[in-house]
Chain A
């Protein structure tokens, strides 16, 4: 059977996914529609799985398709869909371009370490935390690397270009302010990138077969694949070409053995084999070709992991243990709760479902979403929060809820969003310019979309200063968008800020009478 075209298909598909997903994370002008975004995030394993636990249904069934594919043909996800996988391929491709005689070599399976990572991820999931999953998920890591490291670089280039064109009075390419760069946001993705780069530069898909929990899981499943890649012993001439070409370093030429659980279905072996000796075989008869590694250990690990997997859908119950909502204080001075984006329901729902892939951070047109550090506790590191020092939530916008692939931010209608209270406004009179300087300001009220902050005549004791107006807050109308906090010009402590609601609430709509003044258009002007 001639199957060499499989490699070409794999390359084309993987590049389509890689380029599209990268574009999603780099898209600083919101040119790509949420629908386009969803096409390419639908099949991302971890976000889809997390979403499925919450909203079981076809909208979140992407990971089932991946599982199905693995049971048919092996780890197609790893070869073609996972953006981090393709990034590693690019690294090792570069290495082989620089060093001509760089070949892959068979490596013994590090199954124990690999399954340990998988079990770790599952244990954390069961305890209601996405901490380990988030640190290890290849898709989310790819997102963080792209958004935190490469997007700022792209913006710098864009801005250089924009300011060069500006000299020629061309304004069609516009500069974009780079907001919210912070140390922790840069460090973690950078470290991860260095590790992945080092592993892939020297040993191809080593990461996928020693660290990645998705790789471990799909590897387990591919032991039961209907069709497996195998080496036909009769055709093999022991030329060693397949071993040298194998990114997973899972082909042992001596034993003419291909470890399909580590194979990422790149089909390099098929393409290089001069005798067409590698191909898909019906794989249910597992006898003569298996062997090599410690079979018993594999079996044990497999059973353990399977048990963990079966418990996955139950995690939503356990999830509630995580970060219990604190009682909102009446007179807070220090912020007690972070603010989560509209559609995320509660801190608890959000932290239990967000894989910190940073797609919402990238999609947010006002950059109010920023990676957190310890706001959700150490276990919620890198999960986004609403950062009102950097920006404020646009009243009309619901993009984050449209792109979120894991269901941490659930779709929300614009009408519902406009009354969803993410937090409540608190006014600190002692910091306010009107009080300290006795001059008008009103930046907070100006920005308030619901008029939860309005301007009223200034009182000092019983005395009313007619010419001055002071902010007045009415919490019941506040949606916690942070516009007031962002606009407040006082430094370093704002005179008005939003205290996050641990559970989002519904704000009241301010009812006001329609102005019923009739204008006589024939009447003369009042001047």
Chain B
């Protein structure tokens, strides 16, 4: 599509959206809250409050978690680093997600990650162990091969099979909660890159075109919800980071059912062109999700 057509289409879309808004305003209250968004972006609040806003825009947690279901929450707990350095997902956010899952009637909520540093130290230093336990979730080790089962990835190009943690395989609901960071090898880590912590043999990915493997694995089980923590964002020296000097306090959150869209929006928020992140391109090619945000219904909340 050329530029002219783009402008025409987008102004049409804007017009449509605007007119829908005006129609909505004359409808009864219950109709006013539109909830069929593909992606919600929130800015300016604390992580837990931003998640509350985002999830209610998406129709509430009950739309995703039904009574009696088991939920697996997969944050990034990769490093033995304190929360202030933001190498792992914000524990307040993890805690809020767990609490809402239980409010929706979840039977069990599990939290795990296949960490890079010693798992017990990572879970503890990141504050996620305490936050999860306090919220009622069970933490599970990702450091034992016995927990991983081999599955074949039919749509994968380079990654044809992988050993996947049983919590991902068995859970009724799978919530992916990455933290947005710069990344030495994959440029950027958000939703899809975070799933690398759900498999056993990461070395294979590094050795067989990392970007393709990241995209390949995303075809296997798409998370029911991807919650990108962009509260405190590591802009360099990622993924481990060196100090607080590497961070920018962005106070943002992106939530989507589409992991590719979430990563695309996260890339833009981070300040890189999503086209330059190869695994986003590969994933879009494999139809994991859409990277064309203009095709999506996006709710933007500035707090």
* B residues in contact with A441, CB < 8 Å: 185, 206-207, 210
B221 within 8 A of partner (CB): no
Can you list, as one digit per residue, whether each of A448-470 has a CB less than 8 Å from chain B (1) or not (0)? 11110011000000000001010
Bound Cα distance from A515 to B182, whole angstroms = 13
State in angstroms the CA–CA spacing of A510 and B246 once bound together. Answer: 12
- Stretch binding the partner chain, chosen from A116-124, A174-182, A185-193, A205-213: A174-182
Closest-by-CB residue of A relative to B252 is A525
Which residue of chain A has the shortest Cβ distance to B242 in the bound complex? A451
Nearest to A519 among chain B residues (CB) is: B250
Most-contacted residue by chain A among B80, B118, B144, B211 (CB, 10 A): B118
A110 at the interface (CB under 8 A from B): no
| A365 touching B144, Cβ below 8 Å | no
Q: How many residues of A contact B (CB 8 A)?
A: 53
Interface-lining segment among B7-15, B54-62, B93-101, B133-141? B133-141
Flag if A394 contacts B117 (CB, 8 Å). yes
Q: Is the beta-carbon distance between B240 and A527 smaller than 8 angstroms?
A: no
Q: Is the CB of A176 within 8 A of B185?
A: no
A430 sits at the interface (CB 8 A): no
A312 at the interface (CB under 8 A from B): no
- Please give, as numbers and ranges, the residues of chain A lying within 8 Å of B43 by CB-CB distance: 521, 525
How far apart are B198's CB and chain A's nearest CB, in angstroms?
A: 16
Given contacts A433-B206, A446-B240, is CB(A176)–CB(B144) below 8 Å? yes
Decide yes or no whether B36 CB sits under 8 A from chain A.
no
Q: Please, how many angstroms separate the alpha-carbon atoms of A433 and B211 in the complex?
A: 13
Would A171 and B204 count as touching, CB distance under 8 A?
no
A163 within 8 A of B: yes
Closest chain B CB from A514 CB (angstroms): 4
Contact with A along B262-303 (1 / 0, CB 8 A): 001100110100001010000000000000010000101011
List chain B residues, Cβ under 8 A from A439.
208-211
Q: Which residue from chain B places its CB closest to the CB of A396 in the assembled complex?
A: B80
Please name all residues of chain B whose beta carbon is closer than 8 Å to the beta carbon of A171 when the two chains form the complex: 110, 138-141
Asked if residues B146 and A175 are in contact (CB atoms below 8 Å), the reply is yes
Q: Is B251 an interface residue (CB 8 A)?
A: yes
Contact A517 B248 (CB under 8 A): yes
Q: How far is the CA of A363 from the CA of B141 in the complex (A)?
A: 19
Contact of A175 among B144, B183, B251, B271 (CB under 8 A): B144
Chain B, residues 213-257, CB within 8 Å of chain A (1/0): the string is 000000000000000000000011101101001111111000000
Question: What B residues does A234 contact at CB under 8 A?
Answer: none
| Inter-chain contacts of A519 with B (CB < 8 A) | 248-251
With A451-B237, A515-B246, A515-B247 known as contacts, the answer to whether A159 contacts B146 (CB < 8 A) is yes
Interface centre among B117, B143, B184, B236 (most CB of A within 10 A): B184
What's the Cα separation between A138 and B8 when bound, in Å? 86
Cα A162 to Cα B140 in complex, Å, equals 11
B157 at the interface (CB under 8 A from A): no
**Within 8 Å CB of B80, what residues of A?**
394-397
B269 touching A446 by the CB < 8 A rule? no
> Are A163 and B146 in contact, CB atoms less than 8 angstroms apart?
yes
Q: Is A325 an interface residue (CB 8 A)?
A: no
Q: How far is the CB of B72 from chain A (nearest CB, A)?
A: 12
**Chain A contacts with B in 484-527, Cβ cutoff 8 A:** 487, 489-490, 510, 512-515, 517, 519, 521-522, 524-527
The listed residue (A175, A365, A442, A447) touching B121 by CB distance below 8 A is A365
How distant is the Cα of A211 from the Cα of B22 in the complex, in angstroms? 95
Complex Cα spacing A396 to B276, Å: 34
Beta-carbon contact of B207 and A433 below 8 Å: yes
Considering the complex of A and B, which 10 residue pairs feature the smallest CB-CB distances, nearest first? A442-B185, A489-B203, A521-B44, A175-B144, A445-B184, A514-B245, A174-B141, A171-B140, A439-B209, A489-B206
18 CB < 8 A contacts A-B: A171-B141, A175-B147, A177-B143, A365-B121, A366-B118, A396-B125, A443-B206, A445-B184, A446-B116, A447-B116, A489-B203, A489-B204, A512-B242, A515-B248, A517-B248, A525-B269, A526-B268, A527-B269
Further 16 A-B residue pairs, CB within 8 A, beyond A442-B185, A515-B247, A521-B44 = A29-B120, A30-B120, A159-B146, A163-B146, A171-B139, A175-B147, A394-B80, A396-B80, A439-B210, A489-B202, A489-B206, A515-B246, A519-B250, A522-B302, A525-B43, A525-B300
